Structure 1
């Protein structure tokens, strides 16, 4: 049984030189590809024209990206983006809000149902939430690969030490650093003099300096500027390295390696919690549709999705780090406030679907 996990993958699959193929982008695209295939199956089973799925996919892709981006701009950082509106287009710098994506999808599906009048708004909503769930699972997995939307610290055995932020910030400290690695170690492997008793979750930090540097310069840099850098809050929220930390040095393969140890800060892998929840929501919704599609009143699946997805989102926010500073002063964070009306809407749609069934 692992007492904690150190997670620090590269956010990209392959570096092509002029650009990178990233996990997040791949998983985001994969979500729409899988969703389209499921919707082909649903349309075929219900006697709808499969060609309409291609138009629906276009609506969904545009609605999700535009809605999620504008949602982040308006809900989380309006001052920043409204003063620099061109930054809104820089989606590669991050900043997508699932609540904004939900709003975009609702608008897009309304327009879709107006275009194809034989497809009712509630009918398409009931079907689209099935695939939205699986797409959400893949997007949250992408967040995990990026080490973003992290959870609060925890002492649970499945806590995750996110080392990527530490590696990035140390790597950019000087051009003399070629690589930085954060990995889990056993207490028995700590170097002599590192005072192993103070490390509950021992983590090794290894920095590779290029061979252009002298060993004396690396030692001086590591025990001064580097140690000072490691005391910054952006790093100590993931890895706590004592101010009197001991470094070990060795030269190998044309590099000088400086190694020290710290105490990892395990956190909830909130992204994976949401991803796993979305998979279960997908399975439940697909089962209900497949078993009862001719007997369920319109709006039932949509209502179940809103309650399950955003109800769980409301709860998960209690163990997640706030995304922006102003949320620290709120009784509930922005994600929770935005989830409440969607959960209430879910209750409304289920109630209305039950009324409709009783009238039949």
Structure 2
């Protein structure tokens, strides 16, 4: 048997009176706090009202959690959850979709822009997405610690044998192969985009080209998601039929509009000169 990386990390951080708290939850929390710190520094550097940041944090956290949960339930298993709506509330049992989280954030920022800043949504997103890339890095790290959201079996030397995953045991019952650690692939992409977006914001005029930073991140996040998805296991059985019929699964289908949007945002940002954007900025 080839030598693979054996992954046997205990996902439980602590158990309090029979209630399990996982490293995954800690990763979510640290990711959100780290993003908040970075965005707060951006707001402070632009001398913006402190209440703007406080409101942003509240809007985004509520939007991403509701959106990610509803996205998982309605995109991947709508029949079950519409028949058992109370199950939607059981977030502790797992099931969050990144595409749903993005939609939830879009709605939250629409409300935030109308009610708080009176600025365009793109202005807010160009700052928010920088922190979001870092949060996404922590979330995918949490998936690794949970031994979940990994890829198909492979004989590559960096493949992982996820000993605590029932899915892995089903895919590779003899444990004679590993699986693609797609959580790491995605985490590295998001970390790279975080570094790139930080450079764009602090070292270039990108902050004055509304939609540019957001567009770059949308292309990077969802194009990489589309490509890495070819290496991942499907989340729901119906996606096997989708792959057989159309060659792509639900995650890839949902990624296409975001990639197109990102390309348009970059084109639109460069179709206007900076002085015009600064004058028209609201």
TM-score, structure 1 length as denominator? 0.72
Per-residue CA shift, 1:275-318, capped at 9, x if unaligned?
A: 11111100000110001247641010111011000000000000
Say whether 1:161 aligns with 2:161: yes
Structure 1 residue 349: deviation in Å? 0.7
Cα distance change on mapping 1:83 and 1:305 into 2, 3 Å: same
Question: In 2, Cα distance between the equivalents of 1:100 and 1:10?
Answer: 28
Per-residue CA shift, 1:60-109, capped at 9, x if unaligned?
A: 11111100011111110001101111000011111110000000001101
Instruction: Give the corresponding residue for 2:38.
Output: 38
Instruction: Give the corresponding residue for 2:169.
Output: 235
What is the DSSP-based 3-state SS (H/G/I as helix, E as strand, rest coil) of the residue aligned with 1:264? coil
Say whether 1:355 aligns with 2:271: yes
Say whether 1:324 aligns with 2:236: yes
For 1:268-307, what aligned pairs fall within 5 Å after superposition?
A: 268-293=180-205, 296-307=208-219
RMSD: 1.7
What is the DSSP-based 3-state SS (H/G/I as helix, E as strand, rest coil) of the residue aligned with 2:34? helix
Aligned partners of 1:311 and 1:343 also within 8 Å: yes
Q: Which has the higher helix share?
A: 2
Instruction: Give the corresponding residue for 1:311.
Output: 223
Structure 1 residue 10: deviation in Å? 1.4
Instruction: Give the corresponding residue for 1:344.
Output: 260
Question: In 2, Cα distance between the equivalents of 1:264 and 1:10?
Answer: 22
Structure 1 residue 8: deviation in Å? 1.7
Aligned partners of 2:222 and 2:256 also within 8 Å: yes
Cα distance change on mapping 1:29 and 1:86 into 2, 3 Å: same
Question: In 2, Cα distance between the equivalents of 1:301 and 1:270?
Answer: 25
Q: Give structure 1 regions of 4+ aligned residues with deviation exceeding 6 angstroms.
A: none
Say whether 1:146 aligns with 2:58: no
Instruction: Give the corresponding residue for 1:14.
Output: 14
Structure 1 residue 55: deviation in Å? 1.4
TM-score, structure 2 length as denominator? 0.92
What is the DSSP-based 3-state SS (H/G/I as helix, E as strand, rest coil) of the residue aligned with 1:64? helix
Say whether 1:113 aligns with 2:113: yes
Question: In 2, Cα distance between the equivalents of 1:282 and 1:295?
Answer: 15
Question: In 1, Cα distance between the equivalents of 2:53 and 2:176?
Answer: 47
Aligned partners of 1:163 and 1:239 also within 8 Å: no
What number of residue pairs does the alignment pair up?
A: 271
Question: In 2, Cα distance between the equivalents of 1:234 and 1:9?
Answer: 14
**Which segments of 5 or more consecutive residues in structure 2 lack a partner in the other structure?**
277-282
What is the DSSP-based 3-state SS (H/G/I as helix, E as strand, rest coil) of the residue aligned with 2:154? coil
Q: Which has the higher strand share?
A: 1
Cα distance change on mapping 1:234 and 1:270 into 2, 3 Å: closer
